[in-house]
Amino acid sequence: MSKSARLPPVPAERVAAVRRFNRFHTRLVGALGERLLASQYSLPQLRVLYEIAYAPADAPTSATQLGRDLDLDAGYLSRLLSGLEQAGLVDREPAPENARRLTLRLSAAGRKLFGQIDAASARQVADLLRSLSDREQSRLVGAMAQVERLLDRGAAGPDFILRDPAPGDLGLIVQQQALLYTREYGWDWTFEALLAEIVARFAREFIPGRERCWVAERDGEIVGSVFVVRQDDETAKLRMLYVDAAARGLGLGRRLVDECLRFAQQAGYRRMVLWTNAGLDAARRIYEAVGFELLEEEPHHSFGKDLIGQNWGRDL
């Protein structure tokens, strides 16, 4: 007896409801897609560009991986990639660890085009959401995340979203990070002053296109954050990486750092640096995994503790 034969029947009205939603979603995506296709590229080509662009900075994707991720026929995917290569948007490069494995990266022209398309897509979705209240937007995003979790049982996808800060977020970020470091490392209230100074300067001197903050939210609660700020014309600085204890194990810290690296590369920086302290092992493992190297360290007494400050950096 097949597995489906042993399962209880699904009420017809539920099947009809899912089909009705699917028709609605198809119409919605089609409307957005028609406007997006002013770029002259097909939706499958744009999806391929998206997957290449958003692959981890230290682990670019390959044609084989793309085929698995997108569930595309190898021949069809090959034709899509050939068209993108002929247009000068995608480059194939030997992987550092295996020269026989070719990885895919966007060329300079590809990054420029994708940036324009990605921004256009974001504007279209923002226009769609603008008619909803803030509460309605949160309910919609939460419902979409729940649908994804329920239907994609095989994926261990994170149940958080990354967004720009909203009014009130920066103060909460300072508070939550200060409490976490007091609870887990015994740092005193003077650490909160440092966090407040960093956040205040970011808000006061913010440089659009060169600096950014990501807020990680789950079920309406802030569970992580990170900042990228300008150190000089060629150097970006990663600051205040934070993951709440309740959100650990979801890959959130790595996701936040990957977003920082991707943003810094697209913003034209050539190097990224960060300052941390010895003993923060979870963060150190993430930094090492994405290619940061320890440059120097120096003992200091701060936040009520004897600490060893560390400067880390990597080229972009």
pTM: 0.54
Three-class secondary structure of residue 302 per DSSP: strand
Cα-to-chain-centroid distance, residue 82: 28
pLDDT the model gives residue 201? 95
Hey, what are 12's tokens?
């017809």
3-class secondary structure, 237: strand
DSSP 39: G
Structure tokens at 94: 């030997």
**Domains defined for the chain, CATH in brackets:** 14-131 (1.10.10.10), 159-315 (3.40.630.30)
**What is the chain's pLDDT, residue by residue, as a tens digit (316 residues)?**
455 557 788 888 888 888 888 888 777 766 555 445 556 777 788 888 888 888 887 778 888 888 888 888 888 888 888 888 888 998 888 777 665 677 888 889 988 888 888 888 888 888 888 988 877 887 787 677 767 767 765 555 556 889 999 998 999 999 999 999 999 999 999 999 999 999 999 999 999 999 999 999 887 788 999 999 999 999 999 999 999 987 888 889 999 999 999 999 999 999 999 999 999 888 999 999 999 999 999 999 999 999 999 999 999 9
